[in-house]
Amino acid sequence: MNHNGRETEIKLAVPSVAAAVRLVRSAGFRVFKRRVFESNTVWDTPRQVLRRASRLLRIRQAGTKALLTYKGKPGISKHKSREELELQIADPAMLGAIFERLGYRPLFRYEKYRTEYRQPAAGGTATIDETPVGVFVELEGNPTWIDRTARRLGFSERQYITASYASLYIDWCKQRRIKPGNMTFES
C-alpha cells in the first residue's frame, strides 16, 4: 500500500511467527489478506545501474497475482520513504522476456510468506513477513501512524529497520560466512 505513489515503512524483527501474530492481534489488527507465498525477482542491467542508483525494478508473484514494481531512491531517516509505482501484470514470464530483450537480467530472487493485517479505521498496514533470514513485522503508512503503532507494539525507534530484504540477507550471510546467492527457502 502506498500513498500518492510513495511508500513509507519500517521493519521490526520478531523472534517467531507466533510472537508476531500475538503482537499485531493484541494491538487490534485483524487479517486483511491471508498468508500467501511470494516469489520476487529483482531485475537490473549487468552493470547494476538501478542498484547503484538505489532504485529497484521487481516482478512479484504472490499466489495467483503478479505485480511489476518500480521503487525510487529512498529518503532514509528513521523511516524509509520512496516513490513506489505498481502495476498488476498478467504474464510475468513474458514481461521477463521483454526485460531481457531490453538488456535487463534477474539480479536477485527472494521469497517470503506474507500475511497482511489492518485495524478498523486505521491509517496503515502491518504485515508479517516470514523470510529465510527471520520474521519481520512491517509497518507501512504515514510516519505518525508508524511511530504510534511501533510504540504500541513495544518497539523503540532504535529497533526500526529500514534496510531492504536484500541487504538483510547479505548481512545474514556475512554473519554466517556463507556466500550470498538468492534468498529462497530451498537455499
Mean pLDDT, 10 residues at a time, the chain of 187 residues: 76 98 95 97 97 95 96 88 95 96 97 95 91 97 94 96 95 96 91
Rounded to an integer, what is the distance from CA 157 to the centroid of its chain?
19
Contacts of 47 (CB under 8 A, 6+ apart): none
- Residue carrying C-alpha cell 511508500: 7
- How much is the pLDDT for 67? 97
Q: Where are the domains of the chain?
A: 6-176
- How much is the pLDDT for 75? 81
- How much is the pLDDT for 116? 97
**Rg for the chain, CA atoms, rounded:** 16
- How much is the pLDDT for 120? 82
- How much is the pLDDT for 77? 84
Report the candidate in 104, 103, 140 with the shortest Cα–Cα distance to residue 123.
140
| Stated pTM of the model | 0.92
6-176: CATH, from 2.40.320.10, 2.60.120.10, 3.40.250.10, 3.40.50.740: 2.40.320.10
